[in-house]
């Protein structure tokens, strides 16, 4: 992957190319050996004034004669590209696939970016002026009201994720923060403040997926990658704290993998807002309903806890270049499961990891389970 | 599908929904029976200021818990969505898929639309000011120079396709034209004139793909759907009249289907410019190299010829709402192979049809072969 940044001066196609070349180098494979390319990107037409990213990438890699397309699933575009790439290989249709996600949000003016991102919600809710941060604020308020969590616990999610990013050279933010910093940051959507929210980012990430023995001997196995849509309008959900898409995608992934939440050693959770880390952990069975906050308060989701969450910094601190995020989560799991990382940011002895990438406020979710080779 | 139009006042999500509901009705299936949704669209972010079309469609259909994503492959987005939907079902990963393509180009101002469409070409060529119509003009000039075709033959492609559209109620243009009309229309990129070029359009199209017996007894079999990228920069191609992507996709499709060009009864060819109808027919083995024009001159590609091409009017006259086009080609073949169409626009006794949808000026192509059930 590229190091995520608030602004990367390189054009989006170059970011995708750099990430793709790094993935191929890491896998010790040549571009010519890839027969399917899946590019995850949300909004290059609006942010960067261009379409056809998959074909440009394939051209940049010097490849011809491959199956190539770009996949868009809003903020889960990266994981959707990964899901389709995995399915293409698992089915035997293709031997080796390249999943590449990227976004260059800094190129868009604020009005364009805000409009495109706000339109992800249901038309009726968009017309009523509800944005993704508003939903985040409403959910956070409801959660704090309904559980014994307090506002400081919510801030601890951001503090942990910023702390994890400090030693991640690919993270956007390298600054440690504390609970007081979060509480003193500007309000965004009460009770959420700026430091409860992920930033906008530029970046790209890529992985090679193939069947059979790897060239390097240190591949990680995709145990499952499954997705599901949820109820589109939040107002139509039985409980606004339910994220049905995450629950369904998780159940499908556990079924496909043949193991469950109880054996997950670490997780990359879509923490676009701090509250989402808790809600998704609960939907995925990583914490009892209404009690994920206890894991945060008790330090169990810290890097040295029994269930490290967002060891690379999460969307909050690694950054959230929309189409790249889902693939950067997979990369974080791969690095952790391989034991590639320096001690100060490694999860010890991890053998199974989970990643969840979410579109909009739960319109759609993709859950990936990876397993270290024995 | 919706009737294609220069401007359809309905918002894009509604166009997609109408097409999807018509496809489900036609297949006699409920939305709840669909487990994978593939939406083909090129540039809703730029044209319509929105992303997340697949999730909005799924919400509109009242579905939850499905795998859904939008597929973009510029002007071949529709066929790429169809290809991925077919692969999802053929692999057994999903039982029933819905492929829906759509575009609402009328919502974009001309500058935005021109910029996005021009950026499909290689960056270097874009920077040099070459657009898709320029490439079409250069190719047409080279073809007319190198073969015995004359300018009037090229015009006959447009005359035929307009003629075919007259009785197609879903076509954008219902006006018969003659060779003199084409030659008198305003120049676009010499020697191409306005009537050599497809219009911009609004519209949507959808198909249901499933394994096993259909509910209606009149399903058509997908014998193959294969794609390939070509050499991205036209300047890097050995011959600017080669469209390697179309040739490779066609070869793969014939291999997968177990039959070849010699048994194709009708074809839907990506005639964004008249010259492309000839070049693609030649790459697909439907005419010898440098001689497709003879089939046009001799009336063999007419509706009552031995190889009708673009019986529904093609991109030229049915219209070209980018993401919808590839799926509208499949629909035309289905209607023809089923024998659903009124006599004045039916191809008699057709049992095998080919469709080719092309991205940019041959960056990528998708070739579909359909076969009537015996």
Which residue among A49, A90, A228 places its CB closest to the CB of B65?
Answer: A228
Q: Which of A69, A74, A98, A255 to mutate to test the interface with B (most CBs of B within 10 A)?
A: A69
Q: Is the dihedral of CA A289, A295, A296, A301 positive or negative?
A: negative
User: What is the chain A residue with the closest CA to B250?
Assistant: A65
| CA pair distance B304, B301, nearest whole angstrom | 8
Q: 């790459």: which residue's tokens?
A: B283
Tokens of B66: 């499905």
Which residue among B51, B64, B116 places its CB closest to the CB of A120?
Answer: B51
Q: Is B127 buried (19+), middle (13-18) or exposed (0-12) by CB count in 10 A?
A: exposed
Cα dihedral value A88, A92, A93, A94, nearest 10: 70
| CA pair distance A216, A37, nearest whole angstrom | 21
Strand order in the sheet with B67-72: A202-210, A96-104, A36-40, A67-72, B67-72, B36-40, B96-104, B202-210
* Contact residues, chain A, for B116 at CB < 8 Å: 45, 49-51
Which residue among B46, B63, B70 places its CB closest to the CB of A229?
Answer: B63
Which residue among B47, B50, B66 places its CB closest to the CB of A229?
Answer: B66
Which residue among B50, B74, B93 places its CB closest to the CB of A119?
Answer: B50
Distance from CA of B265 to the nearest CA of A (A): 26
Are B145 and B239 contacting, i.e. CB atoms less than 8 angstroms apart?
no
Tokens of B217: 């007894």
- With left for phi above 0 and alpha for psi between -120 and 50, is residue B127 left, alpha or beta? alpha
| CA pair distance B232, B236, nearest whole angstrom | 8
- What pLDDT does B373 receive? 83
Cβ of B340: how many Cβ atoms within 10 Å? 11
* Contact residues, chain A, for B360 at CB < 8 Å: 52, 55
| CA pair distance A192, A204, nearest whole angstrom | 28
Is the CB of B116 less than 8 angstroms away from the CB of A50? yes
What single string gives the DSSP state of each residue in A235-275? GGSSSTT--HHHHHHHHHHHHHHT--GGG--EEE---SBHH
Q: pLDDT digit string (tens) for A139-169?
A: 999 999 999 999 999 999 999 999 999 999 9
Count of helix runs (H) and strand runs (E) in chain B: 14, 10
- What pLDDT does A292 receive? 98
Q: Which of A31, A53, A229, A366 to mutate to test the interface with B (most CBs of B within 10 A)?
A: A229
pLDDT by residue, tens only, chain B of 374 residues: 999 999 999 999 999 999 999 999 999 999 999 999 999 999 999 999 999 999 999 999 999 999 999 999 999 999 999 999 999 999 999 999 999 999 999 999 999 999 999 999 999 999 999 999 999 999 999 999 999 999 999 999 999 999 999 999 999 999 999 999 999 999 999 999 999 999 999 999 999 999 988 999 999 999 999 999 999 999 999 998 999 999 999 999 999 999 999 999 999 999 999 999 999 999 999 999 999 999 999 999 999 999 999 999 999 999 999 999 999 999 999 999 999 999 999 999 999 999 999 999 999 999 999 999 86
Is the CB of B120 less than 8 angstroms away from the CB of A55? yes
Q: Read off the pLDDT of each residue in A330-345 and give the average, rounded to a whole number.
A: 97
Is the CB of B46 less than 8 angstroms away from the CB of A45? yes
What single string gives the DSSP state of each residue in A60-119? HTT--S-EEEEEEBTBTHHHHHHHHHHHHHHTTS-SEEEEEEEEEGGGS-HHHHHHHHHT
Is the CB of B56 less than 8 angstroms away from the CB of A228? no
Q: Is B344 buried (19+), middle (13-18) or exposed (0-12) by CB count in 10 A?
A: exposed
Cα dihedral value B310, A69, B228, B335, nearest 10: -30
| CA pair distance B43, B101, nearest whole angstrom | 12
Cβ of A299: how many Cβ atoms within 10 Å? 13
Which residue among B45, B60, B91 places its CB closest to the CB of A43?
Answer: B45
Is the CB of A59 less than 8 angstroms away from the CB of B363? yes
What residue ranges in B271-363 does DSSP mark as E strands? 352-359
Q: Which domains does chain B have, with CATH numbers?
A: 12-109+198-372 (3.40.47.10)
Is the CB of A93 less than 8 angstroms away from the CB of B71? no
Q: Read off the pLDDT of each residue in A9-26 and give the average, rounded to a whole number.
A: 98
| CA pair distance A26, A11, nearest whole angstrom | 23
Distance from CA of B87 to the nearest CA of A (A): 8
Is the CB of A58 less than 8 angstroms away from the CB of B227? no
| CA pair distance B257, B225, nearest whole angstrom | 9
Q: Which of B35, B229, B86, B330 is nearest to A91 (CA)?
A: B86
Distance from CA of A323 to the nearest CA of B (A): 12
Q: Which of B45, B123, B124 to mutate to test the interface with A (most CBs of A within 10 A)?
A: B45
- What proportion of chain A, given as a percentage, has pLDDT over 70? 100
Are A143 and A275 contacting, i.e. CB atoms less than 8 angstroms apart?
yes
Are B130 and B68 contacting, i.e. CB atoms less than 8 angstroms apart?
no
Distance from CA of A64 to the nearest CA of B (A): 5
- What pLDDT does A374 receive? 67
Distance from CA of B367 to the nearest CA of A (A): 12
Interface size A-B, in CB pairs within 8 Å, comes to: 204
Distance from CA of A347 to the nearest CA of B (A): 32
* Contact residues, chain B, for A248 at CB < 8 Å: 64-65
Q: In a 3-state reduction of DSSP, which class is residue B306?
A: coil
A197 contacts: CB under 8 Å, gap ≥ 6: A133, A136, A188, A272, A273, A316
* Contact residues, chain A, for B244 at CB < 8 Å: 64-65
Is the CB of A51 less than 8 angstroms away from the CB of B43? yes
Distance from CA of A136 to the nearest CA of B (A): 19
Which residue among B47, B51, B65 places its CB closest to the CB of A72?
Answer: B51
- What pLDDT does B374 receive? 67
Q: 């009037």: which residue's tokens?
A: B152
| CA pair distance A364, A103, nearest whole angstrom | 19
* Contact residues, chain A, for B47 at CB < 8 Å: 45
Tokens of A300: 């169990």
Distance from CA of A302 to the nearest CA of B (A): 32
Distance from CA of A308 to the nearest CA of B (A): 28
DSSP B339: T
Q: pLDDT digit string (tens) for A83-118?
A: 999 999 999 999 999 999 999 999 999 999 999 999
User: What is the chain A residue with the closest CA to B246?
Assistant: A65
Which residue among A49, A87, A123 places its CB closest to the CB of B119?
Answer: A49
Q: What are phi and psi of B240, to 5 degrees?
A: -65, -10
Q: Which of B36, B41, B51 to mutate to test the interface with A (most CBs of A within 10 A)?
A: B51
Q: Which of B67, B83, B363 to mutate to test the interface with A (most CBs of A within 10 A)?
A: B67
- What pLDDT does B223 receive? 98
Distance from CA of B52 to the nearest CA of A (A): 5
- Burial per residue of A213-242, b for 16 or more beta-carbon CB atoms within 10 angstroms, e otherwise: eeeeeebbebbbbbbbbbbbbbeebeebbb
Question: Angle, nearest 10°, between helix axes B12-27 and B53-60?
Answer: 50
Sequence length of chain A is 374
């Amino acid at each position: 992957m590229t190091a995520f940044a608030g602004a990367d001066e390189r054009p989006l196609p170059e970011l995708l190319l750099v990430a793709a070349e790094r993935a191929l180098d890491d896998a010790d494979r040549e571009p010519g050996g890839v027969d399917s390319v899946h590019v995850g990107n949300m909004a290059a037409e609006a942010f960067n004034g261009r379409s056809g990213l998959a074909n440009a990438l394939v051209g940049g890699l010097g490849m011809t004669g491959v199956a190539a397309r770009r996949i868009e699933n809003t903020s889960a575009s990266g994981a959707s590209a990964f899901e389709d790439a995995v399915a293409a290989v698992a089915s035997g249709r293709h031997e080796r696939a390249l999943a590449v996600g990227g976004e260059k949000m800094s190129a868009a003016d604020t009005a364009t970016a805000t409009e495109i991102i706000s339109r992800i919600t249901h038309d009726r809710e968009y017309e009523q002026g509800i944005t993704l941060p508003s939903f985040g604020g409403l959910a956070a308020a409801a959660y704090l009201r309904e559980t014994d969590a307090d506002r400081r616990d919510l801030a601890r999610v951001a503090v942990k994720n910023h702390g994890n990013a400090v030693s991640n050279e690919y993270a956007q933010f390298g600054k440690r923060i504390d609970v007081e910093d979060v509480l003193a940051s500007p309000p965004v959507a009460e009770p959420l403040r700026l430091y409860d929210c992920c930033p906008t980012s530029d970046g790209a990430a890529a992985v090679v997926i193939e069947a059979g023995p790897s060239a390097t001997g240190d591949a990680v196995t995709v145990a499952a990658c499954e997705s599901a849509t949820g109820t589109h309008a939040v107002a139509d959900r039985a409980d606004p704290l339910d994220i049905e898409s995450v629950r369904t995608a998780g159940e499908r992934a556990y079924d496909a993998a043949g193991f469950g939440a109880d054996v997950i050693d670490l997780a990359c959770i879509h923490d676009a807002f701090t509250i989402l880390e808790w809600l998704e952990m609960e939907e995925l069975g990583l914490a009892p309903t209404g009690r994920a906050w206890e894991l945060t308060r008790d330090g169990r989701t810290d890097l040295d806890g029994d269930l490290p969450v967002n060891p690379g910094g999460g969307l909050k601190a690694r950054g959230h270049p929309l189409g790249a995020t889902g693939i950067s989560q997979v990369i974080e799991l791969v690095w952790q499961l391989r034991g590639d990382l320096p001690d100060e940011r490694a999860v010890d002895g991890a053998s199974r990891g989970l990643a969840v990438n979410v579109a909009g406020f739960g319109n759609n979710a993709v859950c990936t389970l990876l397993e270290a080779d024995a």
